[in-house]
Amino acid sequence: MATSRFGNIVPLSAMLTEDGGDGGSNGSVSSSTATSTSINYDDESTLEAQYRIPPPEIKDIVDAPPVPALSFSPHRDKILFLKPRALPPLAELARPEEKLAGIRIDGNCNTESRMSFHTGIGIHQLLPDGTLGPEKEVHGFPEGAKINFVTWSPDCRHLSFSIRMNGEDNDSSKLRLWIADVDTGKARPLFQSNVYLNAVFDDFVWINNSELLVCTIPLSRGAPPKKPLVPYGPKIQSNEEKNIIQVRTFQDLLKDEYDEDLFDYYATSQLVLASLDGQMKDIGQPAVYTSMDPSPDQKYIMISSIHRPYSFVVPCGRFPKKVELWSADGKFVRALCDLPLAEDIPIAFNSVRKGMRSINWRADKPSTLYWVETQDGGDAKVEVSPRDVVYTQPAEPLEGEQPVVLHKLDLRYGGISWCDDSLALVYESWYKTRRIKTWVISPGSEDVSPRILFDRSSEDVYSDPGSPMLRRTQAGTYVIAKVKKESDEGSYILLNGNGATPEGDIPFLDLFDINTGNKERIWESDKEKYYESVVALMSDQEEGDLLLDKLKILTSKESKTENTQYYIVHWPDKKAVQITNFPHPYPQLASLQKEMIRYQRKDGVHLTATLYLPPGYDPSKDGPLPCLVWSYPGEFKSKDAAGQVRGSPNEFAGIGATSALLWLARRFAILSGPTIPIIGEGDEEANDRYVEQLVASAEAAVEEVIRRGVAHPRKIAVGGHSYGAFMTANLLAHAPHLFCCGIARSGAYNRTLTPFGFQNEERTLWEATNIYVEMSPFMSANKIKKPILLIHGEEDNNPGTLTMQSDRFFNALKGHGALCRLVILPFESHGYASRESIMHVLWETDRWLHKYCVSNISDVGADDDTVKENVSKGITDSESKVVAASGGGGSEASGDLDNEQFHPTPRSSLRKIR
């Protein structure tokens, strides 16, 4: 199922935490850590280790007020405006954190560290004419409160959320549960002052309209365990049983018995059943509870927990896991499973844990469970049919009643969309072949055989039929919406799709007859100027089939220069009523120029990119510009799929805090996201020809911007983040004729440090030694002669991109006399969050581009036309100098300057998304 692209639309019932995020106070960097915005990059004192601020053109865009997030009530009659903070100060990231079992915990808050938050909540009534009523502020909580986990009650009369303060002592910074009356906006704490949330995993969930089940810090908990001066003993890991355990490069794992005790201390919760009138009672015993999921009829709660023995080689998501059913008042009903430690899941994609997994409630039944069990031992390399079996069973089966086989799958299970006893859609997929299938089943009719509805390549975006739209039931679950047409007995559903075409995405809404396969397009995005998408179904307050003539949907609308606004569209006239009016976030770039361009690689693969040009720029008058190419490679199984167009030329140019588009304000041309497909057709793996295809894609992109006259041939820089940084380093090593310099952020450069697979590579170092070595720019450090800026967070916890990767790569470059610079950002992780760090990253990048791109003097004697020709021929820098010297049109050059993927099945997460 496709995920929403609307970053400021919150799930209808909950507000999730963000790792890093764009939150925080909008306070400026203190004078002790920042310099003046007056920039003189030739002043050597700028190399001193202190935080800097980029030029005002960039700084002002980053400091623009963020847009609120929206959360619609389950009844679709009210909207919350959740008011975000701006970039947080570095001091917030500097708070102590415990790195345990693959997660990072703020011990003072007793939650995951680095949580973003909201500063306020505004409630708007959605009026009958589709417009918004005046804002009603939620009030009553302390000034400066940090708000998280905003959740609607099932009857939409109350909001629940957590609040924490900035206090230095432990208690004031812990999370407390608050309740707000939606009609009045008045908020109040639900518990007494000594009861605090434990939000390391789950936090709280509404059981019914007046009760919540809450994860709390046990009142009996004392001080955290102290690290012993003398260890328990040596740190020993053993494999005397000769088990085959291959894992990727996980970080922040448990290291010893003290870490195990500390993890238990922070992760253990006491479940409390609390009512709105203040009554509360403990439920069950303290344990490491990871999720709480009430049944649709509110009679049962499915409780998941993890327990010892823990592991020092895998994160907590693979620890032993217990799933139990309890009654709504907290009485144990039965155990569903107790899964052992899963250290041995193979690294091949589509490999899974053994035993019951994906245990859920049927959305269309009061209290019926379903789950899937693998038949291949979890190993994707094992050939077996069926590979997965889906089972279903009542919450309390009759004595001797066995689970019922709902469906058998030959690929890997990918989820179910429920409707009723006559209809459900089951998804399966297989990464190796990129095949994805959708089955139609009748859960209540054993005599109706399952049939395939769609069978296609997941890479073929042109054939994507869209996903079924869901409607909310009175029980609060979401099922496939059935639609009726007047005087028509057909059984229709709504398919919401991106509408990928060779001209770009044109989102659509189809009325689809589930029995005949016939479809009618009932809504489509504007094709000429705007990009519109269906965000949610708004006409789902009543039970039964929806009438087409009374359909109501929420859409978004944007253009190249107009930021996203939201609309309500009513049938039958399809009149759109605008409900938001967010100001343009950066009016100084409102008239930027954007074009989706197409060109071809020398092996015939069609490529695309988005070309951005500064406001008012005219290539015929202004001449070529310095250009920044920013990209991220992708793997494909076919050339046709790799050449398909993704995205829309009419989408608004969203500019994030570290976006390459910021340099439009510095009069750069930006080639954003040029497709760099790494293709492995048939039995060939994509990475078998990684360098060759990488260079060919980059050559085609550079040749195109030069041909258009918008990029100066000697002033083209390349950059990327994570796998894009890996790409950048490889291009400077293997295609030095293309770029004048590079910016590589948070990358991995030595693949021998990730020996059990990386990105979408399934083979190990020992199975594909040459591939690992040849793909590693670390092994080609001696070939990098162009200036390269390396930036990395000191606390990077992304698998594979250890901070050590940049440190060792820099030393290798320096050992060969390369012009290079390494910037390590204290307290930052894989993405950068604090205002000080982000501003400094922008300053470093701007300085690098100014010195080694805008002011680039390499090849000054070469004729521009000769350079263009050499680029088109793929001639290297050293070859270019010879050609330029002997071509009769110019003198000899003065010399160079010395210098993570597609996942076809959902990933599980211990933090429940509600």
Q: Alpha helices of 109-256 — where are they, by DSSP H?
A: 170-173
Burial 57-94 (b: 16+ CB within 10 A, else e): bbbebbebebbbbbbbbbebebbbbbbbbbbbbbebbe
User: How many CA atoms does the CB half-sphere of 320 hold within 13 Å?
Assistant: 7
H or E segment and range at residue 733: helix 723-734
Q: HEC profile for 492-542?
A: EEEEEECCCCCCCCCCEEEEEECCCCCEEEEEECCCCCEEEEEEEECCCCC
Residues 6+ positions from 243 with CB-CB distance below 8 Å: 343, 344
Tell me the three state secondary structure of residue 608. strand
- Active-site pick, 722, 746, 858, 880: 722
Contact 867, 714 (CB under 8 A): yes
Active-site residue, 22 included: no
Helix (H, G, I), strand (E, B) or coil at 177: strand
Among 124, 721, 734, 830, the active-site one is 830
Helix pair angle (723-734, 690-707), 10° resolution: 80
Handedness of CA 872, 877, 878, 882 (dihedral sign): positive
Q: Which of 796, 846, 877, 896 is catalytic?
A: 796
SS3 478: strand
Q: What angle do CA 808, 813, 816 make, to 5 degrees?
A: 130
Q: Which residues, including other chains, have CB under 8 Å from residue 638's CB and lie 6 or more apart?
A: 457, 459, 679, 681
Query: What tokens appear for 413 in the block?
Result: 């299970």
Query: CA-CA distance, 903 to 575, in Å (whole number)?
Result: 38
DSSP, residue by residue, 273-291? EEETTS-EEEEEEEEEEEE
To the query of whether residue 722 is one of the catalytic residues in this protein, the response is: yes
129 is catalytic: no
Closest CA to 336 of 364, 308, 363, 300: 300
Q: What tokens appear for 359 in the block?
A: 């245990």
Q: With H, G, I as helix, E, B as strand and everything else as coil, classify residue 6.
A: coil
Helix (H, G, I), strand (E, B) or coil at 699: helix
**Residues annotated catalytic, as ranges:** 722, 796, 830
